[in-house]
Amino acid sequence: MQSRTLGKSKLEVSAIGLGCMGLSFGYGPAVDKAAGIALIRAAVDQGVTFFDTAEVYGPFTNEELVGEALAPFRDQVVIATKFGWDIDQETGERRGGLDSRPEHIKAVTERMLRRLGTDRIDLLYQHRVDPNVPIEDVAGAVKELVQQGKVGHFGLSEAAAPTIRRAHAVQPVAAVQSEYSLWWRRPEEEVLPTLEELGIGFVPYSPLGKGFLTGKIDESTAFDSSDFRNMLPRFAPEARKANQALVDLLGPIAGKKGATPAQLALAWLLARKPWIVPIPGTTKLHRLEENLGAAAVELNADDLREIEAAASRISVQGARYPEQLEQMTNR
C-alpha cells in the first residue's frame, strides 16, 4: 500500500483508509464484535494505516471497537475521530443538535481517549460546523488539546471554504473530510481549490456513493430497516433506477482497466490530487480487499477524460440528504 501526506501537515497515511462507521452504525445492525475486530486487523495486515471513527457512531461503540482492534498496532496507525454532536455522555442518547462549545470539546475528548484506549488522537475533526459557536473558538479549543499532546492534528468535516480559512488561521487544519465521489462533486467548486491553496489534505467519505457505485445496488435492493439509506432521497427506488445509468457507463471503462466499478471510482479519486485519501467502509473482507486493490489501478489522461465524459452525460437524481441534514453541511 502506497502512502500519502495530508497536505502540509506531515501526517502520513495509507493512500486508502478505512471508514469504520458501518461496522457499528448506519448500514444495518452492528457486526459481531469479533468480526469487526478481525476486519480492522485484516486492513492493518494489508497496509492500511488510516482509520476513521466518531463518537456519534453507535454512539460510542465504534470508537471502543476501533480502539480495541488497533491496540496492538497503536504506534503504526493513525486514528481519526470526530466531536460535535449533543450526546448524553452517560446514556449515549443523541439529542439531535450540535455542541462545539470549547468546554464540551475538551470534556468529550477525554472520553474519546478512554474509549479508544490511547493517550492521543492523531486527527480530531469537528463533525459538523456549529452555527452557535464561532469557528475560531472551536479551533482555539483544539489548539489547546494539541499543545497538551492529547491531539495530533485538527480537522473539519463538511465545512465551507470561508469557515476552513477562519479555522486554519487559528490552528492549522490538517484535513477536511467531506462527501466526494463521482456522484457527489460539489467540493470541486470551492473546497478543493481552497485546500490546495492552503496545503490541507482532503478525505472523501462515501467515496463509493454509499455503496451505489459498486454496481451491487439497484432499484429493487431492500435495505435493513435500520439502514439510514432508507431516508436518503437519492436512494428512493425511482432515483436508484435513474442513477443506474451512471454505473452502466462506468462499468465498461472499469472492464478495460481490469478493475471493478468500485475500484475505478476509488482510482478516480486517487488520481484527482496526491493529497486526497478516500476512506471507503465495508463489513466484508472481500470488499475490503477489492477496495484496497484500487490503489494499484493507474488511470492515464485518456482514462480520466473518458470517465469525465461518461459522468457528464448523467444528471444524478435525488438529494443526497433530507433537507434538515443537508442544512448542516457546507457552512
Positions marked active-site: 57
Sequence-ordered strand ranges (E) for the chain: 3-5, 12-14, 18-19, 50-52, 78-83, 85-87, 94-98, 121-126, 151-157, 173-179, 201-205
Q: Where are the alpha helices (DSSP H) in 257-314?
A: 261-272, 285-292, 301-312
Burial of 318 (0-12, 13-18, 19+ CB in 10 A): middle
Q: Which residues pair with 13 in a beta bridge?
A: 4
Report, in this order, helix, strand and coil percent for the chain, each rounded to 5.
Answer: 45, 15, 40
CA distance 77 to 70: 8
Contact 15, 277 (CB under 8 A): yes
Hunting for cell 466518531 — which residue is that?
54
Q: Give the span between the Cα atoms of 112 and 115, in whole angstroms.
A: 5
